[in-house]
Structure 1
Amino acid sequence: MAAKHCEKDMLQQVNQLWSLLDDMSENSPEAYQRFIRHHLEEGMKQFSPPEPHTCVQTRILELSEKLLYINLCTWNMVSSPKSDSDPVPLAGGKLEENVEGTETYSVTDVAYNPEVLKKGNEDPVERDQLVCLAMKYIEEQHSLRLSHSYTLLKYKLKGSKKQMKRRLTGNAGPAQTAKKMTAGENDASLLQQLTSLKSADKEKEENDPPIRLPSDIRHPKKPGLIEEISSTEFDNGNKVETPKYQLSFIKGENEKAKIIQLKVELPGVSSVTECNLSVSKDDLVVDVPEKYRLQLDLPETISEDNVRAKFNKKTQILSVGMPTK
């Protein structure tokens, strides 16, 4: 009886909606067109496919180490956090192994809402936490152990968009359905358009992979800053510290920095083989598994091919010389 009553109320609400739309189409055709256009555009945006944003390179730590490429993607299908205290939603793709020449590597994809990655663009700390969150998700989802050191590559995508979309969605996706509807059915009735949108939404729910909501990783109360993922979540209870460091500059004749010198104190480190150093044109990561991790944005663009590093066992100091471009 309750189900029949609920059905009756729903039917009444639908009839009221159609009545309002009919009145709008007759009395205010322009407003009616704007209303329809707005909701169709919102539907197209919702069903748009994932787009590449950043490609990250790290390593899978197995018996024999192997490169892993992580494509960070923007995708409107992934919701943004409702508040700063909510978990950061993400969607993960399949893990694939590929061979390129003599190199064997793996590749996977992790998608965030565009607004989430936009904040990462504006704040290197947030960007680092989004990368760490993606790596943690991959470790849990695929039962892997990854290196904590990573490199942001110059290109946005490893592989093709088609491969990325297939790994994330597993099919052509509902975006094509929505595109076909708006491109070729401009004269269709409102009922047909809404029915098509409903079908596309149903197809999305049936075929798309679930969006994972990591319940243990949350925003801090401070607006705009994702809480740093504690190192204990990556290192089996061993705390990873940020080491003491010093940046200095050797200037040229024009007073511009010619060489950036970095000295990092690493107490307890006895060999350079314990250190992982990753340097790109504008940032640097020093990683000593289970002990230290340092990520810096460099003040000048450097020449990556001419970077030199040495470790002094006596003083336990890592020195890195980075010529600028």
Structure 2
Amino acid sequence: MSSTGGTEDVLHQVKQFWSMLDDLSENDPAAYRKFIHKQMKEGAEFIAPPELHSCLCTEMLEPKKGLLYINICSWKRVPAPQDPSKPLPLCAGKLETDTNESHGLYTLLDVALNPAVLEESKKDKTEVYVLALSFAQQQHGLRLSQQYSVISCSPKSSPDDFHRRLGFQQQPNTSKPDAAIQTPATLLQQISSLRSEKQDEPAAQIICRPAELKKKGLIQVISTTFVQPQKPEHQLEVKPDIAGIPRSIELTVELPNVCSMSECLLRISKDDVLLEVEDVYYLLLEFPKTVNEDTASAIFNKKKRRLTLKVDVL
């Protein structure tokens, strides 16, 4: 009985809704078009996936030692704060622990904020970083190192990975040529489907944390020490020919926190080479021999996270 009653209630609400739209389209076509456009825009924003904004790396001391990576994401599904004095909405996925040869034991956490929050934090990103670190400590009972670094990407940081951890599922495209022609039965079926989808608990939850961290004292939980770009491990070699005459120079640089060559800024002159990865690595070296910069070639090995530069000696 209750199931039938629920179905009748939904159908009654649908009829009222369509009746309201019919009246609006007849009496005020401009308002009707504005309403439909607004609903379509909001719907598209709601189903848009989260996007990776930045990534933090710190050392986890308790309950287990290892690295903690926090992926900070921009997601329109997370509500924007309405008042600076009220809690800041934050969507978080579940902790995921894994291990590999290059990182050892590590833990991943994804947190998502409304794009407006991240846009406002462009001038001072520290507060967002501290919010994410404080949340990890207080929500999951972790004890973290007092230092963190901003890196380009974390392990398992593909869109599919953090979509899964945040509980985002891409809606299948069910559009058909005759989708505009809806019968009450098909419309009711779609609405029932939407209602059942809403009843499924996603992996992520909306969790509120105070927006004004400094006033609430949370900012003292973690040190905001920013780690300057580090000098990566590297090896510079002069390659001679059979007669022992220097012919080329080879530079190999280990870049464990880099995912692709596009993240690297590489500049070469006849006397030196500069390699930069914003906020992560900085390397400036003088060549032991004058080189022909026009002959330089660089290859990045994604599997080994290693950059190899070769250039001929003049």
Same fold per TM (> 0.5)? yes
SS at structure 2 position matched to 1:79: coil
1:83 offset after TM fit, Å? 0.6
Give yes or no for the alignment of 1:43 onto 2:43: yes
Q: Which residue of 2 aligns with 1:311?
A: none
SS at structure 2 position matched to 1:88: strand
Give the counterpart letter for 1:218 in structure 2. Answer: A
1:186 offset after TM fit, Å? 4.2
Which of these residues, 126, 131, 140, is aligned with residue 138 of structure 2?
Answer: 140
Q: Which residue of 1 aligns with 2:158?
A: 160
Give aligned pairs, total: 228
Distance change >3 Å, CA 64–CA 87, structure 1 → 2: closer
Most deviating of 205-214 and 130-139: 205-214
In structure 1, C-alpha distance between the alignment counterparts of 2:37 and 2:179, rounded to whole Å:
10
Which of these residues, 259, 264, 280, is aligned with residue 229 of structure 2?
Answer: 280
Q: Which residue of 2 aligns with 1:56?
A: 56
Distance change >3 Å, CA 162–CA 228, structure 1 → 2: farther
In structure 1, C-alpha distance between the alignment counterparts of 2:96 and 2:130, rounded to whole Å:
20
Q: Which residue of 1 aligns with 2:120?
A: 119
Alignment of 1:1-325 (within 5 A): 17-26=17-26, 32-62=32-62, 65-104=65-104, 105-121=106-122, 123-124=123-124, 127-155=125-153, 159-169=157-167, 173=169, 175-176=170-171, 180-181=173-174, 186-189=179-182, 196=190, 199-200=193-194, 203-204=197-198, 206-208=200-202, 209-214=204-209, 217-219=210-212, 227=214, 230=217, 234=221, 278-280=227-229, 304-305=282-283
In structure 1, C-alpha distance between the alignment counterparts of 2:126 and 2:151, rounded to whole Å:
14
In structure 1, C-alpha distance between the alignment counterparts of 2:200 and 2:92, rounded to whole Å:
17
1:193 offset after TM fit, Å? 6.4
Normalised TM-score (structure 1): 0.57
Distance change >3 Å, CA 37–CA 75, structure 1 → 2: same
Distance change >3 Å, CA 132–CA 197, structure 1 → 2: farther
Cα pair 1:52 1:156 within 8 Å, conserved: no
Normalised TM-score (structure 2): 0.59
Cα pair 1:53 1:157 within 8 Å, conserved: no
The superposition leaves residues 95-125 of structure 1 with CA deviations (integer Å, 9 ceiling, x where unpaired) of: 112223243221110111111111111x21x
Greater C-alpha radius of gyration: 2
Greater fraction of residues in strand: 2
- Which residues of structure 2 form unaligned runs of 5+? 1-8, 231-277, 285-314
In structure 1, C-alpha distance between the alignment counterparts of 2:134 and 2:188, rounded to whole Å:
40
Distance change >3 Å, CA 205–CA 45, structure 1 → 2: farther
In structure 1, C-alpha distance between the alignment counterparts of 2:100 and 2:139, rounded to whole Å:
25
1:35 offset after TM fit, Å? 3.2
SS at structure 1 position matched to 2:171: helix
Q: Which residue of 1 aligns with 2:251?
A: none
1:182 offset after TM fit, Å? 5.6
SS at structure 1 position matched to 2:207: coil
Cα pair 2:63 2:143 within 8 Å, conserved: no
In structure 2, C-alpha distance between the alignment counterparts of 1:51 and 1:163, rounded to whole Å:
11
Distance change >3 Å, CA 184–CA 205, structure 1 → 2: farther
Distance change >3 Å, CA 196–CA 116, structure 1 → 2: farther
In structure 2, C-alpha distance between the alignment counterparts of 1:83 and 1:131, rounded to whole Å:
20
In structure 1, C-alpha distance between the alignment counterparts of 2:76 and 2:26, rounded to whole Å:
34
The superposition leaves residues 177-225 of structure 1 with CA deviations (integer Å, 9 ceiling, x where unpaired) of: 5xx25676641449766974674365245322320112xx233xxxxxx
In structure 2, C-alpha distance between the alignment counterparts of 1:54 and 1:206, rounded to whole Å:
29
In structure 2, C-alpha distance between the alignment counterparts of 1:302 and 1:63, rounded to whole Å:
27
In structure 1, C-alpha distance between the alignment counterparts of 2:92 and 2:280, rounded to whole Å:
33
Distance change >3 Å, CA 195–CA 148, structure 1 → 2: farther
Q: Which residue of 1 aligns with 2:267?
A: none
